[in-house]
Amino acid sequence: MTAYLEAQREKELGEIIAAENLKPEETAQFIDAAFREGSIRASGTAITKVLPPVSRFSKEKNHGEKKRRVVQKLGEFFERFFGLVSKR
């Protein structure tokens, strides 16, 4: 992988993490696993580990919407870089 692609990949992933308030280490592990396996896993506990904690007493019940949006953004990120780079 070229240095430019690696830098661009890290930059874009960082932007997604910041925009969605995701857990950085867990998100990086999730994406690394997706590149190894060849796909994003939208179900199961792996995706929920990257999401920020949600208060059970919050008036906003948007956890499902947040999960859908994060899966979509990470999926687009994955599709953009999967054919171009291979993880170390």
d(CA 47, CA 6): 23
Has residue 87 been placed in a domain?
no
So what's the pLDDT on residue 10? 94
Has residue 63 been placed in a domain?
yes
The pLDDT profile of the chain, 88 residues, written as one tens digit per residue, is 688 888 999 999 999 999 999 999 999 999 999 999 999 988 888 898 999 887 776 666 677 888 999 999 999 999 999 987 654 4
Has residue 66 been placed in a domain?
yes
Has residue 43 been placed in a domain?
yes
So what's the pLDDT on residue 88? 44
So what's the pLDDT on residue 64? 84
Q: Is 51 left (phi over 0), alpha (psi -120 to 50) or beta?
A: beta
Q: What domain range includes position 48?
A: 3-82
HSE-up (13 A, CA, CB side) for residue 10? 9
Has residue 34 been placed in a domain?
yes
Has residue 58 been placed in a domain?
yes
Has residue 88 been placed in a domain?
no
Number of domains in the chain: 1
d(CA 12, CA 18): 10
